[in-house]
A = this chain, B = another copy of it.
Amino acid sequence: MSGKTEAAARARRDSYHHGNLRQGLIEAALAIVAEQGLAAVTLRACASRAGVSHAAPAHHFGNLQGLLSELAAVAFRRFHATIAAEQAAAGPDPRAQLAAAGCGYLRFATANPDLFRLMFSAGRLDWTNTTLAEASRAAYRQLADTVRPFQRDPDDEEEGVRLRTLVWSMVHGYAHLLLEGYLAQHGVSADGLSHLPDIAALLPYPPSDG
C-alpha cells in the first residue's frame, strides 16, 4: 500500500520541482497519522509518501517540529470546525450551546486521538508559528464566546477567566482521561459521552432561557 502510494506519487511527478510540496507533505502527515498513528509521522515517511527525497521537507518546515506544528495548526482548525458544527445544530440557548461545545470537543478527541494528543503536547510544537498560534487562539475564543453567557457580569474579566478555566478543565480533563483509556481502566464506561459532566448544571450562574 505504502509502496504503491509512493509509486503513484512519483508517477504523477515528472519534474524536479514538486510544485506544491509544502501542502503535499502536510497531507502526507495527515494520512500517516490517521493510518498509523502519530509515532509513524517522520520526515522520511512524509517525504516518501509525497514522492520526494528525505531532505526535501527541511526546506519547507525547517525540521520535524516545524512539520508537526503545521499538522497541529490543521488539527486546531478542524477541532474548531467540529465544535462549530455541533453548535450550529444546537439551539441558541446558552445551555444547549455549552452542551454542544462539550460534545464537539469529545467528538473530535475520540475521532482523532493522535491529532488531539499532538495539539496538547505544547512542548513538541513551535509556537512562533503564526498559523498554529492563531488557530489555537481561535479555539480559545470559541470557548470564551460559549462561556460568556454564564457570566454574571460579561465585562468582569476575572470572572470570565475563572469560568473559562473551569469549563475547559472539565471538558479537557474528561477527554484526555477518556482517550488515554484511564476511565475505562477504572471501570468507567468507555462510551465517550455518557459520563461527560453536565457542566451547565454546575456553573454558578446558569443563564435561564431568554
Question: Given the complex of chains A and B, what is the CA–CA distance between A170 and B166 in angstroms?
Answer: 7
Q: Which of B120, B166, B195 contacts A197 (CB 8 A)?
A: B166
Question: Given the complex of chains A and B, what is the CA–CA distance between A170 and B187 in angstroms?
Answer: 18
In the assembled complex, the CB of A54 is this many whole angstroms from the nearest CB of chain B, namely 22
Cβ-based interface call for A176 (8 A): yes
Task: Tell whether, in the assembled complex, residue B170 and residue A121 are in contact, meaning their CB atoms are under 8 Å apart.
Answer: no
Give chain A's interface secondary structure class: helix
Given A172-B173, A173-B171, A183–B165 Cβ distance below 8 Å?
yes
Cβ-based interface call for A140 (8 A): yes
Task: Tell whether, in the assembled complex, residue B166 and residue A188 are in contact, meaning their CB atoms are under 8 Å apart.
Answer: no
In the assembled complex, the CB of A193 is this many whole angstroms from the nearest CB of chain B, namely 12
Question: Given the complex of chains A and B, what is the CA–CA distance between A161 and B186 in angstroms?
Answer: 9
Q: Which of B122, B173, B176, B204 contacts A181 (CB 8 A)?
A: B122
In the assembled complex, the CB of A177 is this many whole angstroms from the nearest CB of chain B, namely 6
**For window 147-205 of chain A, which residues contact chain B by CB distance below 8 Å?**
161-162, 164-166, 168-174, 176-177, 180-183, 185-188, 195, 197, 201-202, 204
Number of A interface residues, CB 8 Å?
Answer: 35
Can you list 27 A-B pairs with a CB-CB distance of less than 8 A? A122-B180, A122-B181, A122-B182, A122-B185, A136-B182, A136-B185, A137-B186, A140-B186, A161-B195, A162-B195, A165-B174, A165-B177, A165-B183, A165-B195, A166-B170, A166-B197, A168-B173, A168-B177, A169-B170, A169-B173, A169-B174, A170-B197, A172-B176, A173-B173, A173-B174, A201-B204, A202-B204
